[in-house]
Amino acid sequence: MSKKLKIGVIGTGRIGKLHTNNIVKNFTNVEIKAIADVYADQAKDWAASLGITEVYNDYKKIMNDPEIDAVLICSSTDTHSQFTIEAANAGKHVFCEKPIDLDVERIKATLDAVKKAGVKLQVGFNRRFDHNFKKIAEMVKDGKVGDVHIVKVTSRDPEPPPVEYIKVSGGIFLDMTIHDFDMACYLSGSEVVEVYANAGVMIDPAIGEAGDVDTAIVTLKFANGAIGVIDNSRKAAYGYDQRVEVFGTKGCLEAKNDTPTNVVYSNEESVSTDKPKYFFLERYTGSFIEEMGLFFDSIINDTEPPVSGIDGLNAVLVGMAAKKSYEEKRPVKL
C-alpha cells in the first residue's frame, strides 16, 4: 500500500486526543483526514496544531467521506454501537473504544453489521499491548508456565472518577473491571465460564448512593479448568497499581508495576523507590501506540485485528455476570 491510510476520528475527549496525537507522531503512513466532535469549535486549535484542518460537528461527514478508510470511535459509550454500524455500512474499518455497548443484543447487532460489511473491527483493550502483559501472554503461550492453574490481576486506580461519571458508567464491573476481565482471558488463553463478585463501598459513600461499589474481589473459572481472581479499588494512595500473575505447572510469571525511574534512595528512615506511574496515560503510553499500529497493520495486511469484536462482547458478558453475582450474592455461570 503505497498511499497513506486515511483516518477519521469521532470524539475528541481525552482518549480521542490521545489516539490522534499518537497517530500524528508515530505513523508516517497514516493520515488523520478529519475529526468530528459535537464540540468541534473547542477542538479546532488543537487539531490545527497537528495539521488537521477538517474538523466537523457532524460525524456523518466522516461516514460519507469516500476517501476515509477507517474510523476511530472515541465518543461516549452510548454511541459506540450505532457509529460502528454506520461506519461498517459505509465500508470503513472500525477501531472502537471499549465497551462496544452495555446491551448484549446491541453488541451482537453491531458484530453482525461488521461481519456483513466485511470490515475490520478492533476493540480498545489497549492493555494487551502493554510491554509487561504482552510478554507474559507470549511466555504463557510458549509454555513457560506449563498448564495455567491460577491467574491473578490487581487493578487499582489512583482516584475514583466523579460520581456523575459513575452514575452513567454501567458500574465498576463494566467500567473498570472490564479491562481486567479481558486481561484475565488474554493471559489464561481461555474464556470465563463462571464468576463470583465480592465487593463493597469502602472509599466513598457517594459511590454507594450512586448504586455502585468501589472495592471488589472477583473470582473466575475458566473454560480450560484454571481459576482466577481480580482485585479492584477505585483509590490506591500510592497511585495506579497494575500487576498480574500467571501460575502454572512449570512456574509463575508476574508483572510488577512500572515506575518513573529506577532510583533507590536509602536514608535514616528507609530504602525507598518511586511510586508506580501515576495513571493510565503514563502507564499505558506505549500500549496505546502499539494497539493503533496493530490496527493499521491488520487493515494494510488484511489480517485479523488483535482484539476482536467477540473479545469485546465476552468482556461485557463477564462484567454483567459479575454485576449479577454481586447483586444476587452467588456465583453466576456464563
> In the set 82, 167, 274, 334, which binds its own copies (CB under 8 A)?
274
Q: Which residues inside 108-147 make contact with its own copies, applying CB under 8 A? A: 131-132, 135-136, 139, 144-147
One-letter amino acid at 226 equals A
Minimum CB–partner distance for residue 331 and its own copies (Å): 6
Mask 46-75, x = binds its own copies (CB under 8 A)? ---xx-------------------------
Minimum CB–partner distance for residue 216 and its own copies (Å): 8
One-letter amino acid at 223 equals A
- Is position 180 an interface residue for its own copies (rule: CB under 8 A)? no
Grid cell listed for 99: 465497551
- Measure the CA–CA gap between 187 and 217, rounded to whole angstroms: 18
For CA atoms 8, 10, 12, 17, give the dihedral sign: negative
Longest CA–CA separation in the chain, Å:
67
Q: Which residues inside 300-319 make contact with its own copies, applying CB under 8 A? A: none
CB of 122 or CB of 242, closer to its own copies: 242
* CA geometry: angle 17, 21, 23, nearest 5 deg: 120
Q: Which residues inside 210-269 make contact with its own copies, applying CB under 8 A? A: 215-217, 219-221, 225-229, 231, 233, 235-238, 241, 247, 249-269
- Measure the CA–CA gap between 109 and 181, rounded to whole angstroms: 22
Which residue in the block uniquely carries the three cell numbers 494487551? 128
CB of 261 or CB of 301, closer to its own copies: 261
Minimum CB–partner distance for residue 275 and its own copies (Å): 6
Minimum CB–partner distance for residue 158 and its own copies (Å): 10
Residue 308 contacts residue 99 (beta carbons within 8 Å): no
> In the set 91, 143, 161, 200, which binds its own copies (CB under 8 A)?
200
Range in contact with its own copies (rule: CB under 8 A) among 79-87, 93-101, 194-202, 296-304 = 194-202
- Is position 94 an interface residue for its own copies (rule: CB under 8 A)? no
> In the set 152, 179, 283, 323, which binds its own copies (CB under 8 A)?
152
How many CB atoms sit inside 10 A of residue 143's CB? 11
Minimum CB–partner distance for residue 56 and its own copies (Å): 23
Minimum CB–partner distance for residue 226 and its own copies (Å): 8
CB of 91 or CB of 251, closer to its own copies: 251
Residue 230 contacts residue 184 (beta carbons within 8 Å): yes
Show Cβ contacts of residue 140 under 8 Å, excluding neighbours closer than 6 positions.
Answer: 148, 187, 188, 189, 246, 248, 253
CB of 97 or CB of 231, closer to its own copies: 231
- Is position 28 an interface residue for its own copies (rule: CB under 8 A)? yes
Minimum CB–partner distance for residue 16 and its own copies (Å): 19
Minimum CB–partner distance for residue 38 and its own copies (Å): 26
Q: How many residues bind its own copies (CB under 8 A)?
A: 74
- Measure the CA–CA gap between 182 and 225, rounded to whole angstroms: 17
- Is position 150 an interface residue for its own copies (rule: CB under 8 A)? yes
Q: How far is CA 270 from CA 83, 191, 261, 273, 277, in A?
A: 53, 43, 18, 10, 21
- Measure the CA–CA gap between 85 and 91, rounded to whole angstroms: 10
What is the DSSP code string of 88-138? HHTT-EEEEPSPS-SSHHHHHHHHHHHHHHT--EEE--GGGGSHHHHHHHH
Q: Which residues inside 8-27 make contact with its own copies, applying CB under 8 A? A: 25-26
